[in-house]
Amino acid sequence: MAFFLLGSAVALLVLVWWWTGRFPCSWNVLRTAWGAEGRETRQRLRTAWSKLREGRRRSARIEEEARVHVEKVKADAEGRLRPSDERLQDLRAEREAQLKTAEECGDPVGVPLGWAEQPLERLQLHQHALRPWRAVTSEEGEVREEAGEPLALFGLHIETGALSHHLCLRVTLPRDRNAVREWLWLYPHEKHWEAALHAFVVQVRDQQEHDEAFREKLRSRVAGIDAETRRIEALRAEVVKENGRVIADAEATLRTASEQAKAILEKAYDAWEEVAHRRPRR
Establish if 137 belongs to a structural domain.
Answer: yes
Distance CA 128, CA 201 (A): 14
Count of Cβ atoms closer than 10 Å to residue 167 Cβ: 21
175 belongs to a structural domain? yes
Please state the pTM of the whole predicted model. Answer: 0.62
Give the domain extent around 214.
108-233
In a domain, 20, yes or no: no
Pairing of strands 166-174, 157-163: antiparallel
CATH number of the CATH domain containing 184 = 2.30.29
Secondary structure of 110-144 as H, E, C letters: CCCCCCCCCCCEEEEEECCEEEEEEEEECCCCCEE
Burial class (CB in 10 A: 0-12, 13-18, 19+), 172: middle
Q: Tens of pLDDT along the chain (282 residues)? A: 555 555 555 655 655 565 555 556 665 565 555 665 667 777 777 888 888 888 889 988 999 999 999 999 999 999 999 999 999 999 999 999 888 876 655 444 444 566 666 555 678 787 778 888 777 777 777 877 777 788 888 888 999 988 888 888 888 887 765 666 888 888 888 888 888 889 889 988 988 888 888 888 889 999 999 999 999 999 999 999 999 999 999 999 999 999 999 988 888 888 877 777 777 766
The reply to whether 76 falls in a domain is no
**The total number of structural domains that make up the chain:** 1
Residue 178 domain-assigned? yes
Q: Is residue 150 domain-resident?
A: yes
Asked whether residue 145 is domain-assigned, the answer is yes
Give the residue from 169, 167, 170, 171 showing the smallest Cα distance to 188.
Answer: 167
Whether 57 is in a domain gets the answer no
CB atoms within 10 A of CB 29: 18
